[in-house]
Chains A and B, each alone.
Chain A
Amino acid sequence: MLSGGDMLIRALHDEGVDLIFGYPGGTALHIYDAIFRQDKVEHILVRHEQGATHAADGYARATGRPGVVLVTSGPGATNTITGIATAYMDSIPMVVISGQVTRDAIGSDAFQETDMVGVSRPVVKHSFLVQSAADIPNIIKKAFYIATTGRPGPVVIDFPKDVTDPAEKFPYEYPETVKLRSYSPPQKGHTGQIKKAVEILMSAKKPIIYAGGGVVQGEGSEELTKLTQTLGFPITNTLMGLGIYPATDKQFLGMLGMHGTYEANMAMHEADVILAVGARFDDRVTNSDVSKFCPNATILHIDIDPASISKTVTAHVPIVGPVKSVLKEMNSQIKASSNKVDAEALKLWWENIEHWRQRDCLAVESAGELIKPQQAIQALYEVTKGDAYVTSDVGQHQMFAAQYYHFDKPRRWINSGGLGTMGFGLPAAMGVQLAFPEATVACVTGEGSIQMCIQELATCKQCQLPIKIVNLNNEALGMVKQWQDMQYSGRHSHSTYADSLPDFVKLAEAYGHVGIRIEKLSELKEKLAEAFAMKDKLVFIDIVVDQNEHVYPMAVKGGAMSEMFLSKTERT
């Protein structure tokens, strides 16, 4: 016999959860007491509930296992919303447990009462309000099942305080299986559709593979790499997909979309066949006017979520199913097929692509001792030998990291792509570092973003997390400023704050960490290397970078994929 609070923790353990992120408060106190009285599930005390959600999210993105969050009702619960929405937009498996006022007080505007199920509804895959302690094992089982299967996503479980009352005990048994008559994620793609897609691929003259975050979540990287290499096709990845195909391989054209490479966007625009895998034709890829998108292409679209198919761009061959099994079947069909790819056409196509590549759209012009933000990422790549886990915040620094750090493995690049949440980077890095204590974890951030969850430096201290914070300090909300430069004649409305920035070195020190500042290009690599050599310390690396740099290429608003600004003075 167990109390509701004990059942919850026990069920988490039975579900394989060994780490949760949280912050206590009134309605969660029975649960916190249950945590105190056991040693199987470790709890990480964050400094803000938003941090807990991003940390759990980072943990999930790096490991593929669901992240778990525990918070109190009211403000504790509402503070998780940004983090839940972030996970929702990027399809990250997460379970958020919130305290709630007692059942009889629900609806009475009780102290710290918020309708969490209601408030979170638009940003969760599903949610539960626990009505009786006896339901706890079943609900936990269902919640994890829903969060981790199909198109993954966050699930909220709201726990009225009296349901976790230590005085009321119930028999506990954790269910082995779960059955939901109304929820059955697809297990396999349609063989006939796959066959149709393979035929089209085999006769393609200007094909391209466009793959995204679904391949990370669906663990399809290996099959995707095999497919790409067997076919000899060019491949581009979305911001969310970086790492699912080795970036250092010659078939990789780089990221596509708003800040994608010239060659990737040109190849998309000119393609006659696009194989979209676990990508959702987001407006940051297609640009806002879908009618101009890839006019010549036959579109083959693999996704586990039928609602992602033909949502914005019509798919000629839709394939609903888990990317891994669909790609596997594609690979075996190709192997068995007597058809060969059109080698002649493909050769011409690659010549075309090489021609675009020669434009070298990511070339960096040196500016003496002034550090270009791109150079900082290049140095980071060299110092970490391309093998770090890189989390990022949102802004120019994020795009530079995506462009200049070449990810060869999935789950190494961890950023908020869908929601674009500033403040994500540091807590996400905590989740990664806790999952992989020995790994090198870098958080690429900006002086704007880092201040949105800066309080987590204290969590890092308490847990001794040796994260390396790489702060590309341009003394501005750089991405906002860039848009103001390009679209508002340089009127920098509320995007600069140079005279009120904190001394990040002292700030890091105040939290008990090491802080260093890098101001000259000649000392960039050496100082970075020194920082990364401090294996057991968190180092805040404040890098003073060129304040006037823009991210290029940049899609021309409302244009086709082939329409890009390539620098402040050139456009296609």
Chain B
Amino acid sequence: MRRIISMLMENEPGALSRVVGLFSQRNYNINSLTVAPTDDVTLSRLTVTTIGDDRKIEQIIKHLNKLVDVVKLVDLTDGSHLERELMLIKVKVSGAQRAEVMRLADVFRGEIVDVTPTTYVVQLTGTSDKLDAFIAALGDTSILEVARTGVSGISRADKVLNL
């Protein structure tokens, strides 16, 4: 099953490589990974999406918790949560396609953030599924470039990941 694991990590050199190294060393999957500072300058928040059966996920979480740099960790998929990913996608557009892609971006609540006579850059936020669906919906429109941030997430209601 797909899981979104989010953790607070010491903002120390080498911390990120320990997390990433753990995944490759133990042959765990990383589908996406995002990391950025938080409101506390000593902490970064890292979110990883991975796939595995319950035993594997349990091991991943236990091993992540063992890392000295990982301060606190939550499996967001354990409870009700929000997940978002941002995508910038550059497509080649001409003629009738221009209106078609604009309409499609609208349907997906995306924004066209860059326009040239031959290209658009569409910006889209949402769940990974939604971004996948947009790509699929583009059909035979020629995609020049895709830049996705990877999944970021947060628990709903009063459940929080902080110290």
A384 vs B6: C-alpha distance in the bound complex, in angstroms? 56
Query: Which A119-143 residues sit within 8 Å CB-CB of chain B?
Result: 121-122, 125-127, 129, 131
A310 vs B59: C-alpha distance in the bound complex, in angstroms? 9
Given contacts A121-B18, A122-B25, A127-B14, contact A307 B71 (CB under 8 A): no
> Which of B61-69, B88-96, B138-146, B154-162 is the contact stretch?
B61-69
A122 vs B70: C-alpha distance in the bound complex, in angstroms? 16
A271 vs B66: C-alpha distance in the bound complex, in angstroms? 32
A126 touches B58 (CB 8 A): no
A307 touches B62 (CB 8 A): yes
B36 CB → nearest A CB, Å: 18
Interface membership of B163, Cβ < 8 A: yes
Given contacts A121-B21, A182-B10, contact A305 B68 (CB under 8 A): no
A286 CB → nearest B CB, Å: 15
Q: Which residues of chain A have C-beta atoms less than 8 A from B58's C-beta?
A: 310
Interface membership of A311, Cβ < 8 A: yes
A181 touches B71 (CB 8 A): yes
Interface membership of A11, Cβ < 8 A: no
Of the listed residues B10, B21, B58, B68, the one surrounded by the most CB atoms of chain A closer than 10 A to its CB is: B68
A484 vs B65: C-alpha distance in the bound complex, in angstroms? 42
Given contacts A121-B18, A306-B62, contact A129 B13 (CB under 8 A): yes
A310 vs B61: C-alpha distance in the bound complex, in angstroms? 13
Given contacts A306-B62, A307-B63, A310-B55, contact A180 B21 (CB under 8 A): no
Interface membership of B17, Cβ < 8 A: yes
Of the listed residues A127, A146, A307, the one surrounded by the most CB atoms of chain B closer than 10 A to its CB is: A307
Interface membership of A117, Cβ < 8 A: yes
B17 touches A307 (CB 8 A): no
Q: Which residues of chain B have C-beta atoms less than 8 A from A146's C-beta?
A: 68
Q: Which residues of chain A have C-beta atoms less than 8 A from B163's C-beta?
A: 181
A180 vs B163: C-alpha distance in the bound complex, in angstroms? 13
Of the listed residues B17, B21, B55, B62, the one surrounded by the most CB atoms of chain A closer than 10 A to its CB is: B62
Given contacts A122-B21, A182-B71, contact A307 B66 (CB under 8 A): yes
Q: Mark A295-323, 1 if CB is under 8 A from B, else 0.
A: 00000000001110011000000000000
A303 CB → nearest B CB, Å: 11
Q: Which residues of chain A have C-beta atoms less than 8 A from B10's C-beta?
A: 182
Interface size class of A (residues with CB under 8 A): 10 to 19
Residue of B nearest to A305 (CB): B66
A452 CB → nearest B CB, Å: 25
Residue of A nearest to B18 (CB): A121
A131 vs B68: C-alpha distance in the bound complex, in angstroms? 18
Q: Which residues of chain A have C-beta atoms less than 8 A from B55's C-beta?
A: 310
Q: Which residues of chain B have C-beta atoms less than 8 A from A117's C-beta?
A: 14
Interface membership of A502, Cβ < 8 A: no
A306 vs B73: C-alpha distance in the bound complex, in angstroms? 15
B15 CB → nearest A CB, Å: 10
A243 CB → nearest B CB, Å: 27
A106 CB → nearest B CB, Å: 11
A130 CB → nearest B CB, Å: 11
A180 touches B68 (CB 8 A): yes
Q: Mark A88-130, 1 if CB is under 8 A from B, else 0.
A: 0000000000000000000000000000011001100111010
Interface membership of A183, Cβ < 8 A: yes
Given contacts A121-B17, A129-B13, A129-B14, contact A182 B63 (CB under 8 A): no
A154 CB → nearest B CB, Å: 13
Residue of A nearest to B163 (CB): A181
A442 vs B27: C-alpha distance in the bound complex, in angstroms? 40
Q: 10 smallest A-B Cβ distances: which pairs?
A: A307-B62, A182-B71, A126-B68, A122-B25, A183-B68, A306-B62, A121-B21, A307-B63, A181-B71, A117-B14
Other A-B pairs, 14, CB within 8 Å; known A181-B163, A182-B10: A117-B14, A121-B14, A121-B18, A125-B68, A126-B68, A129-B13, A131-B13, A181-B71, A182-B71, A306-B62, A306-B65, A306-B66, A307-B62, A311-B59
Q: List 9 A-B contacts (CB under 8 A).
A: A121-B14, A122-B21, A122-B25, A127-B14, A146-B68, A180-B68, A182-B67, A305-B66, A306-B62
